[in-house]
Amino acid sequence: MSTRPGTADLDPLLAQLQLTDSGFPSGMYTLSHGLEGYVQLQITGPENLRELLTDLLDNTVGPADAAALALAHRAAREADWEELVRVDRRLHAIKLNREQRRASTRTGRQVLDTAAFAFPVPETARLAELVADKAAPGNHAVVVGALYAGLGVSAAHAVAADLYAFAASWTAAAVRLGRTDFRRAQRLLCEVRPDLARVARAALAVRDPRELHGSVPVADVVSAAHERAEARLFVT
């Protein structure tokens, strides 16, 4: 006689879907992740969106935020809060641009505030204490990593989900900025899936906070210009 499969293993998946949903109030909808600055300076157009997105994934989002998420997830699972603080501080230190640094902590703290109400898990409660005491800055990737750990989402799924959330947010910004349309945006997300998987594997291989890095000088210059723009649709 066969037994009905259990659904306990669906809980982490459903939590993951909730966190990556565009309706989750993290403030991600206010970010273009630098794209608006590129558009304002006429550096990018519809023809090179894929190239720009892949460049950001390979050189900033992957080795910095995604790797930090993986390290934070591991530290939270092991209740190693000193290590988690080191990860958070390192990630903050390598974000050289003020606009991006502020956005990272603002959205991170928004997730913490929402998690306290919607996901009352010990991991984010402890991280919230560290942020309140100013021991940790509370970057978005670190907060999400700790939250995913508390919700039982595996590190691999957590990193992949957050990378996809970044790509989806970035392409949605491209639509709002008139760089592409909804159908082409979905095709772009499909095309970059192998890139997301490759970047996720590299991020999961990181073992030490000192390995976190990111280098896209043009993006830093563009972000600095965007911060002083007369009119802005997005925070970044």
DSSP codes joined into one string, 29-96:
GG--TTHHHHHHTT---GGGHHHHHHHHIIIIIIIIIIHHHHHHHHHHHTT-HHHHHHHHHHHHHH--
Q: Is residue 78 part of a domain?
A: yes
Residue 215 lies in a domain: no
pLDDT reading at 122 higher than 50: yes
Domains held by the chain: number: 1
32 found inside a domain:
no
What is the pLDDT at residue 3?
Answer: 44
Residue 4: inside a domain: no
Give me the pLDDT at residue 38, please.
Answer: 84
For residue 151, give the H/E element and its range. Answer: none
User: Which residue segment(s) compose the domain that 106 sits in?
Assistant: 46-210
Does 40 fall in a domain?
A: no
For residue 219, is pLDDT > 50? yes
**Residue 23 covered by a domain:** no
Give the per-residue pLDDT at 227: 77
Residue 155 in any domain: the answer is yes
The structure tokens 């005491």 sit at 133
Report d(CA 45, CA 15) in Å as an integer. 35
Residue 61, classified by CB atoms within 10 Å of its CB into exposed (0-12), middle (13-18) or buried (19+), is buried
Does residue 7 belong to any structural domain of this protein?
no
101 HSE (CA, 13 A, CB side): 14
226 pLDDT more than 80? yes
Burial class (CB in 10 A: 0-12, 13-18, 19+), 207: exposed
> Are 111 and 140 in contact, with CB atoms under 8 Å apart?
yes
Task: Quickly list H helices, 95-177.
Answer: 98-118, 122-132, 140-150, 155-176
Which tokens sit at 124? 């984010």
Average pLDDT across the chain, whole number: 91
CA distance 115 to 102: 20
Q: Which CATH number fits the domain that encloses residue 206?
A: 1.10.4190.10
pLDDT tens for each residue of 185-201: 999 999 999 999 999 99
CA distance 116 to 200: 28
Q: Within 13 Å of residue 148, how many CA atoms lie on the same side as its CB?
A: 30
Least confident span in 103-107, 145-149, 212-216: 212-216
